[in-house]
């Protein structure tokens, strides 16, 4: 038994946690934070094996435990297949961090039905399916945290159907919280402010927009993925179980001004 195995043994909790979209950005930071706390983390991603492998390697280096699982969150059959693997391998699931999101922005008037379906499936129906297939594995209670944005409350030009999907995530987070609280499953969400992640920087004009938000934010800077990860870790820690059905805004006060 090497030093890493000893570390892994000492750190491990019995908790099994699924983080969707764990290959970069907020999902990456959340996965690493939870693994540091001793959770066994399932790293879901869809496209980039290289990126997710980097997260896996970092967790290994820290003495944590992880497993990589590729599945498109917009595909119900892939979500149910992933939950089958988690059941067979771990026997249970304690937390789901529904972070992955994929959307096709643009003006609503020219949004095609296909773009609506892709966006709503990957961003909103994914949360519903994760709960439908994941809750049966949460036999001792558990936690579900949605990672979303407040782009449904403050209408961002061009965000289009992505903002609509975020509205669905907000309602689903509250409705699931009420439905699942009697089972001891605590559902909440986090709404980070803008951050220069890959999907954000792919939006034309993102650098200028981020600079403007930085200037306007009372804290004088943007939130980091690591700061968001610490809030998620608190929500699933068991110390926050009377916070139910909330979406916590983590943006340094940007929404206030
Ligand atoms: N960045 C911001 O400013 C900001 C602000 C507020 C809220 N958010 C929210 O934070 C969450 C994470 O965004 P991010 O900014 O961290 O983005 P990111 O860095 O681009 O990461 C997105 C992650 O989701 C995965 N992903 C995308 N579509 C997927 C699908 N259909 N199935 C499975 N995995 C999928 C990506 O993996 P692959 O590329 O390999 O598919 C990647 O791991 C999103 O819900 C986003 O709306 C972001």
- Domain spans, the chain: 3-250
Q: Specify the 3-state DSSP secondary structure of 76.
A: helix
pLDDT, residue 256, reads 97
- What is the percent of the chain where pLDDT is above 70? 95
Q: Distance between CA 96 and CA 19 in Å, rounded?
A: 6
Query: In this structure, how many other beta carbons lie within 10 angstroms of the beta carbon of residue 7?
Result: 13
| Average pLDDT over all residues of the chain | 95
**CATH code of the domain occupying 3-250:** 3.40.50.720
102-122: b or e for each residue (b if 16 or more CB lie within 10 Å)? bbbbeeeeebeeebbebbbbb
Q: Distance between CA 35 and CA 33 in Å, rounded?
A: 6
Measured in Å, residue 18 CA sits from the centre of ligand 1 at 15
Ligand 1 atom nearest the C-alpha of 166 is: 47
Q: Pocket around ligand 1: residues whose beta carbon is below 6 Å from it?
A: 20-27, 44-48, 72-74, 99-102, 122, 147-149, 192, 194-195, 197-200
pLDDT, residue 156, reads 84
Answer yes or no: are the C-beta atoms of 66 and 40 closer than 8 Å.
yes
pLDDT, residue 5, reads 65
Answer yes or no: are the C-beta atoms of 134 and 94 closer than 8 Å.
no
- pLDDT level of residue 3 (50, 70, 90 thresholds): low
């Amino acid at each position: 038994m090497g030093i890493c195995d000893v570390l892994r043994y000492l750190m491990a909790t019995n908790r099994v946690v699924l983080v969707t979209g764990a290959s970069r950005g907020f999902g990456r930071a959340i996965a690493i934070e939870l693994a540091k706390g001793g959770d066994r983390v399932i790293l879901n991603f869809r496209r980039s094996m290289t990126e997710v492998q980097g997260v896996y390697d970092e967790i290994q280096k820290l003495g944590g435990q992880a497993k990589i699982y590729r599945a498109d969150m917009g595909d119900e059959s892939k979500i149910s297949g992933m939950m089958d693997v988690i059941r067979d391998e771990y026997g249970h699931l304690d937390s789901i961090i529904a972070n992955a999101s994929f959307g096709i922005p643009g003006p609503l008037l020219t949004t095609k039905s296909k773009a609506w379906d892709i966006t709503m499936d990957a961003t909103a129906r994914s949360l519903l399916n994760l709960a439908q297939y994941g809750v049966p594995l949460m036999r001792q209670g558990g936690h579900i945290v949605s990672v979303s944005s407040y782009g449904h409350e403050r209408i961002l030009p061009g965000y289009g159907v992505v903002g609509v999907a975020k509205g669905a995530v907000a309602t689903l987070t509250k409705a699931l919280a009420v439905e699942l609280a009697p089972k001891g499953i605590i559902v909440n969400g986090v709404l980070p402010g803008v951050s220069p992640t890959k999907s954000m920087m792919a939006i034309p004009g993102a650098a200028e927009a981020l600079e403007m938000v930085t200037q306007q934010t009372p804290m004088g800077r943007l939130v980091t993925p690591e700061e968001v990860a610490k809030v998620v870790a608190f929500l699933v820690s068991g110390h926050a179980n009377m916070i139910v059905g909330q979406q916590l805004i983590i943006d340094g006060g940007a929404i206030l001004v």
